[in-house]
Structure 1
Amino acid sequence: MNEQETSGPTSGGQPPEHRHVRLAEIAGTAGVSKATASRALRDPESVSPASLAKVRQALAILGAAGHSPETRGTGQRAEPGTEVPMIALIKPAVSAGNVDPYSRLAEILTNRMFGLRIAVVHIEAVAERNEALAETILGDEHGGPTVSGAVVVGGGAAGALAGILAERGLPLIRISNARHDDGISRIYLDATGGIDTAVAHLVHLGHRRIGLAVLRDSAAPARIAGFRRSMAGILHIPATRDQAPVVEAAGGTMAGVAAAEELIDLRCTAVIACAPSLSFGLLEAAQRLRLDVPRDLSLLTVGDVPDADVVEPPLSQVVYDWAMVAQSAIDEIRAMIAAGRQRVHVDYTVDPDLVLRASAVPPQRR
C-alpha cells in the first residue's frame, strides 16, 4: 500500500491549510499499524474506539488536526478556514513504581473531547522542563503549536505548570485534591470529605482502631487533619497520634508496604489508604505477614484504584464520579475559551461516593 498524506494538493496554487503528514508518521505517533491508521482515516467505524482515539490524538500532535477522522467517512467536511480547537490535557509525570490515580479521568476527558471534535494534546509535566513546556504549549512568533486552553489534572509539577500558563493568560481549569488561593479556576476533589465517609463506614462496621496511610505531598496535611477530626467527632476520642495513627509515605508500592507494616504493627484493624500504591502496598504487606484481607485487616481506599473491582479482594472505595467531573471540566473550559477576556472564575467542590466491595468487613480478632 502506498503511503498516504492527510491533505492533498490545493487548487489555485494556494498553500494547504495544514502541513502534509505521512501515514507512517501518524501510525508511529499513535502506536498503531499503518493499516489501522489508514482504516481510521478512511472509515472510523472499522476500528476500535481506543485505536481511533490514538489516531486522532496523533493527528493533533502532528499538526494535522483539521484532517482528523471526524471529517472522513461521515459525509461531513470541515468548512474552509475552520480550525479544530486544541486543548492541552496536562498531568504530572508518574514515576516508576507508582500508579496514576487519574488515568481513568484522563481517558474519559480524552474520549469526550474527541467526540466533541476537540483535538487533545497530552502533556506530562516535569518540574525541570515546565518553562520549555509552557513555550511549546503557548507557541511563539515562529508559529509553534498553540492551544486554545488547558485542563490540568493533579498537583505537583502539573500544578506549577498551570501557574505559569495562567500567568500568561491561557484559559485553563485545574482538577485537583489540594485547594490553593491562587486565582486559578478549579474543580476541587474533596478528599477530606472522602475520609469522613471512610471513617464513618468503618466505625459503622465496628472498627475502633483505624489507621490512615497518605502520600507525603501537598495534600497530606489537610487529609491528616480531616482524618483526626473525623476520628474525634465520630468516636468521641482525642484522636492523638496514638489513637488515630497516621503514616506518611513516599511514592511506590514498596513505600506502601512499609507504611502498611507500620500500621499493622500499631494493631490497626482497618486502614484507609489515600493512593493506589498505598492500597497495593497494604495488600502485599498483609500477604507477607500471612494476614487475610479483610478477615484480619480491612482496607478502604480513598481515590481511584485501577481495576479495583478485579483485584483480590475487590477493593471498597470512596471514589469520584469521573464522568461527571470530566464533563464539567470540558463544559467550563469551552465556556472560558468562548468568553475570552470576560471569562468567569470557576471554583467548586466535588464530593466522592462510597462504593462497597469485599475489602472492608466488621473487625475480627487477630
Structure 2
Amino acid sequence: MSDSAADPKGTGGTGKKPRSPAGSMKLAEIAAIAGVSEATVSRVLNRKYGVAQRTREQVEEALRAVGYERGTKGEVVLILVPGLNEAFFADVCDAIERALSPQSLRAVICPVYPGSVFERDYVEALMDMGIAAAVFLSSSNTMRNSDPVAHQLLESRGIPYISVNGGFADSAVPVVSTDDWQAAELSVAHLYDLGHRRIGLTAGPVGNIPADRRVEGFLNAMDARGLSDAEDLVVRHFYSLEGGRHAADELLSLGVTAIIASSDDMALGAYRAITRRGLRVPEDVSVIGYNDSYMLEFTDPALTSVRQPIERIADFCARTLMTMVQNRPVHTDEVLVEPELRVRASTAVARE
C-alpha cells in the first residue's frame, strides 16, 4: 500500500492537517484574511516600522489563523541590568519592553552585578537560545576596565547589542546616555541660585562612568561660579542608602549647606545622616537626588531630583535595536539625552 493510500488526506499519518511552512502561503492570502495590503504583511513579518499596533495585531491574528506561529527563537532581547530594587531600572526595563512589544520582540530581564560572572553566564545561556539582541543597561558598560567577555561573546556570534549610560572602549556600538555633565550643572545652578556656596557631592565609585562624569560636571559647574574648593567637597561611595549616609556624614562635617546625591537612594541616605545630627531638610541642609520616580512625591520632604528621560532612552533602544536586527547600518556615536530637574520640597534658600 502506498503512503498516499494509507493517508489519503495527506496528514502524514498523524490524523491532523500539517501546518503550513512559513513561506508556503502567499502574502496575498494572508493579506486578504487580515484585510490589509501585502506590503503591510511583509512589514509585519520582517518587524519593520511604519505599521500601527492594531494593524500589526490583525496581521498576527491572520498568521495564527492559517497555522503559522512565530517561534521565540530570534525574538528575545536580553536586558542586563544591575538589579530592579531601584525604581529607575525597573521603569527603564518596563519602558523598553513596551517599546519592543509592537515589533514582536520580547524582553528578558537579567539582574546582574555589573561585570560579574553571572553577566557572562546569562549571555552564554541565552545566546544559545538564539537571542535577537542585547542591551547593557548600566551593567559592565558603565565600568572602566571591566571584564569584556560578555560583549565579546555577543560579537563572536554576530548578535547586535547597545549600551545605556556608558559604552565599551573597545567596541563601536550604539550608546545612549543621560547627559551627566548637564545633570550636575542643573543641580549646582539651582542650589547656587538659592544662595548655597558650600555644596557637596556624594558620587558613585571611582571608575564608574556615570559617576565620573557627574563629578567632572560638578567641578566644572562649581568652578564656573568661582567656588574653587569643590574638589574637597566630593565624597565617593556606593549607590545605596548606606553609601549615601556615610558620604553625607563626611560632607556635613565639612560644613556643607547642600548635598547633591548621585542617586535617589544616596539622597535618602543623606536624609538619615542629616536628621541624626538633629538637622532638618531643607531648613538646614538642602538635598537633590538623581534618577527621579513618582515615589519621591511621598518622601518627607518630597525629594528634588534630576530625572533621567526614560521614555527617550527606551525609544532610542527600540528603534536602534530594530535597525540592527534588520542588518541595517546604525550610527555609533554616543547620543546624549537631556535630563530635567524636578524641583520639590527638599531644597530651599540657604540659611544665613
TM range (shorter): 0.7 to 0.9
> In structure 2, which of residues 89, 92, 111 is the aligned counterpart of residue 124 of structure 1?
111
Structure-to-structure mapping, 1:22-33, within 5 angstroms: none
CA contact (8 A) 1:251 1:277 kept: yes
How far apart are the structure 2 equivalents of 1:344 and 1:192?
A: 22
How far apart are the structure 1 equivalents of 2:195 and 2:351?
A: 10
Post-superposition offset of 1:177: 4.7
Aligned: 1:151 with 2:135: yes
Aligned: 1:338 with 2:326: yes
Post-superposition offset of 1:164: 3.7
> In structure 2, which of residues 242, 264, 274 is the aligned counterpart of residue 276 of structure 1?
264
Task: Return the letter of the residue paired with 1:152.
Answer: F
> In structure 2, which of residues 195, 198, 223 is the aligned counterpart of residue 232 of structure 1?
223
CA contact (8 A) 2:297 2:303 kept: yes
Q: TM-score, normalising length from structure 2?
A: 0.73
Post-superposition offset of 1:132: 2.5
**Distance of aligned partners of 1:261 and 1:76 in 2 relative to their CA distance in 1, 3 Å threshold:** farther
Structure 1 range deviating more: 82-91 or 205-214: 82-91
Post-superposition offset of 1:10: 8.9
Structure with bigger gyration radius: 2
CA contact (8 A) 1:205 1:362 kept: yes
How far apart are the structure 1 equivalents of 2:250 and 2:165?
A: 28
How far apart are the structure 1 equivalents of 2:90 and 2:281?
A: 26
> In structure 2, which of residues 78, 84, 92 is the aligned counterpart of residue 105 of structure 1?
92
> In structure 1, which of residues 261, 267, 270 is the aligned counterpart of residue 255 of structure 2?
267
Aligned: 1:11 with 2:16: yes
Task: Return the letter of the residue paired with 1:308.
Answer: L
CA contact (8 A) 2:292 2:305 kept: yes
Equivalent residue number for residue 160 of structure 2: 171
Query: Secondary structure of 1:11's match?
Result: coil
Equivalent residue number for residue 5 of structure 1: none
Question: CA offsets, 1:52-80, max 9 Å, x none?
Answer: xxxxxxxxxxxxxxxxxx979x9555361
Equivalent residue number for residue 101 of structure 2: 114
**Distance of aligned partners of 1:173 and 1:208 in 2 relative to their CA distance in 1, 3 Å threshold:** same
CA contact (8 A) 1:191 1:302 kept: no
Task: Return the letter of the residue paired with 1:335.
Answer: T
Structure 1 range deviating more: 248-257 or 155-164: 155-164
Identity between Structure 1 and Structure 2 (%): 22
How far apart are the structure 2 equivalents of 1:259 and 1:138?
A: 40
Equivalent residue number for residue 296 of structure 1: 284
Equivalent residue number for residue 213 of structure 2: 222
Post-superposition offset of 1:260: 1.0
CA contact (8 A) 2:80 2:139 kept: no
How far apart are the structure 1 equivalents of 2:102 and 2:269?
A: 37
Q: In angstroms, what is the RMSD of aligned CA positions?
A: 3.0
Equivalent residue number for residue 351 of structure 1: 338
Post-superposition offset of 1:308: 1.4
Q: TM-score, normalising length from structure 1?
A: 0.71
**Distance of aligned partners of 1:207 and 1:10 in 2 relative to their CA distance in 1, 3 Å threshold:** farther
Task: Return the letter of the residue paired with 1:363.
Answer: A
Structure 1 range deviating more: 171-180 or 266-275: 171-180
Question: CA offsets, 1:315-341, max 9 Å, x none?
Answer: 11111221121111101110111125x
CA contact (8 A) 1:269 1:363 kept: yes
Residue ranges of structure 1 left out of the alignment (5+ in a row): 1-8, 18-69, 140-144
Structure-to-structure mapping, 1:238-257, within 5 angstroms: 238-242=228-232, 245-257=233-245
Question: CA offsets, 1:181-200, max 9 Å, x none?
Answer: 63221102221210011111
How far apart are the structure 1 equivalents of 2:314 and 2:173?
A: 17
How far apart are the structure 2 equivalents of 1:75 and 1:257?
A: 54
Structure-to-structure mapping, 1:81-100, within 5 angstroms: 82-83=70-71, 85-93=75-83, 99=86
Residue ranges of structure 2 left out of the alignment (5+ in a row): 1-13, 23-55
